[in-house]
Amino acid sequence: MIAPAPLGTLALFALLFTLYALGSCRSIYVGDSGELVTAVHTLGIPHPSGYPLYVLLGKLWSELLPLGSVAWRMSLFSCVCAAAACSALYAVGRRLRLAPIAALFAALVLGFSPSFWSQANVQRVYALGAPAAASSPRLPLVIGGSYRTSSGKRGFYSLATTGVGASLGYGGSVPPVVGGWGPTGFVGAIAVWLALRVWRRL
């Protein structure tokens, strides 16, 4: 399996983070942004589902980055998440044996798409879910490796705990549109595991 070049992944992250940060919102954005920034600053609870992962990570980020206003820090937090998502997609593409230019093209299409860019540099919760969604195609690779190196029971146990953890932990902490990734990934992972067992027996 082709390992992604760490320097290329880091360079892509640095490039996209810089571009997002240059256009980041330095004051309160529209919609839920004021509520979310206030919740992060006071460790409060925003509207349902409460977004605990966003609030806790945002608080840690804003404390570790004493630069400008809390609103701008949270915009930069979205920049980091969005750049990480594109880098993760590039890494997944390389592990799926895509040529470097093809993996880079896929990552840049995501990074420069209007809807993605619109959430990449403002105080909203959506960028936080992007790295998980971009990394999800790698799940079958992880499962396949686990299956080949362990017994069926151990492989299934590892798969089940990963899927349940994603569903209950990550899925419940970010927007509902991303929260569906956990259960969907779990069901898909079960299907891949069963297919691998059948293939092995054949």
Q: What is the mean pLDDT of residues 135-142?
A: 56
What whole-number distance in Å separates Cα of residue 80 and Cα of residue 65? 13
- pLDDT, tens digit (0-9, with 9 covering 90-100), for 43-83: 888 888 788 888 999 999 999 988 889 999 999 999 999 99
Chain-centroid distance of CA 24 in Å reads 19
Q: DSSP secondary-structure letter at 174?
A: S
Give residue 78's pLDDT: 94
Contact 143, 159 (CB under 8 A): yes
The better pLDDT of the pair 85, 198 is held by: 85
Of the ranges 1-15, 87-101, 114-128, 156-170, which one carries the lowest mean pLDDT score? Answer: 156-170
Place of tokens 């105080």: 123
What whole-number distance in Å separates Cα of residue 115 and Cα of residue 174? 18
**If DSSP codes are grouped into helix, strand and coil, which group holds residue 155?**
helix
What whole-number distance in Å separates Cα of residue 59 and Cα of residue 37? 9
pLDDT of 169 higher than 60: no
Using 50, 70 and 90 to split pLDDT, how confident is the model at 168? very low
Give residue 83's pLDDT: 94
Give residue 50's pLDDT: 81
Give residue 192's pLDDT: 61
What whole-number distance in Å separates Cα of residue 112 and Cα of residue 128? 17
Using 50, 70 and 90 to split pLDDT, how confident is the model at 29? confident
Q: What is the mean pLDDT of residues 195-202?
A: 69
Give residue 75's pLDDT: 93
Give residue 134's pLDDT: 75
- pLDDT, tens digit (0-9, with 9 covering 90-100), for 86-137: 998 898 888 878 888 988 998 999 999 988 898 899 999 888 888 877 776 5
The better pLDDT of the pair 163, 42 is held by: 42
What mean pLDDT is reported for the chain?
76
pTM for the structure as a whole: 0.70
Q: How many other CB atoms are found less than 10 A from the CB of residue 134?
A: 23
Contact 40, 50 (CB under 8 A): no
Q: DSSP secondary-structure letter at 150?
A: S
CB neighbour class for 8 (10 Å; exposed up to 12, middle 13-18, buried from 19) = middle
